[in-house]
Amino acid sequence: MSVLDSIIEGVREDLALSRVSMAQISEAIDAIPPARDPLATLLKNEMSIIAEVKRSSPSKGVLAKIDDPAGLGEKYSLAGATIISVLTEQRRFGGSLADLDAVRARVDTPILRKDFMIDEYQFFQARAHGADLVLLIVAALGANQLNDYHQLSLELGMRVIVEVHTNDELERALEISPQIVGINSRNLKTLEVDPSVFAELIPRLPHSIVRVAESGICSRADVESAQKYGATAILVGEALVKAGDPAIAMRELLGLDRLI
């Protein structure tokens, strides 16, 4: 069993224990404001940052304690994050929907529910908890699921980041006409990081698509390298949660510290 398969198995088990009725979910969706749409900003910016509330990972273990996810989200928002990504997977990443709720209550910045979305219920659940975007990992989904979940997300008012790691996955992603594609340099089946994935895949994306470089972004040089190949956004977790001051770390990644 690959790492990805193991994570998905855990997600299914946890989901079976946490479901509430669709009537409750629908009531919650009706009560929340419309989703915030970051697409125009992502398309306009030369480089955007998706800043992540992330306690741990399967590859690195515990990264940061994060007792106050809302406070961290607020720091990201004030520092100019275009999107705040909140991990909600519990077993491997130490996240929860409570983290998403806390951050949503504190900031107006669009929020990505970062999880392994493998069940239709999760998309209604994400919107009910105030998510503005969701992640679709091509490696975790069949062709029909990818298309159906993409359409469902849009119908619920949420934007979608479609994540790929290989040429084959990119071909599958392009078939559903995505507006935001994440190129993950980490192979979720083995957890190995290969920066050459950015060079191979990002240039294949049309410029009309937001191109997000994911994983292995730790320094300004990493950002410049991804940008050289055409990335217009970066998703960063570890480098920010481990930094003494996440706002300063964000400025350094974006090269804004050089303007001071």
Residues in CB range of 149: below 8 A, 6 or more apart:
117, 120, 123, 136, 141
pTM: 0.95
Catalytic residues: 52, 54, 114, 163, 184, 214-215
Give the total residue count for the chain. 260
pLDDT score at 259: 45
At residue 28, the pLDDT reads 96
- In angstroms, rounded to a whole number, what is the distance separating the alpha carbons of residues 209 and 170? 12
**Domain 3-259 falls under CATH 3.20.20.70:** yes
User: Are 155 and 63 a contacting pair, CB within 8 Å?
Assistant: no
Per-residue model confidence (pLDDT) at position 1: 78
Asked whether the CA dihedral 22, 23, 24, 29 is positive or negative, the reply is: positive
Low-confidence residues of the chain: pLDDT under 50: 259-260
Model pLDDT, residue 257? 67
pLDDT at position 240, please? 96
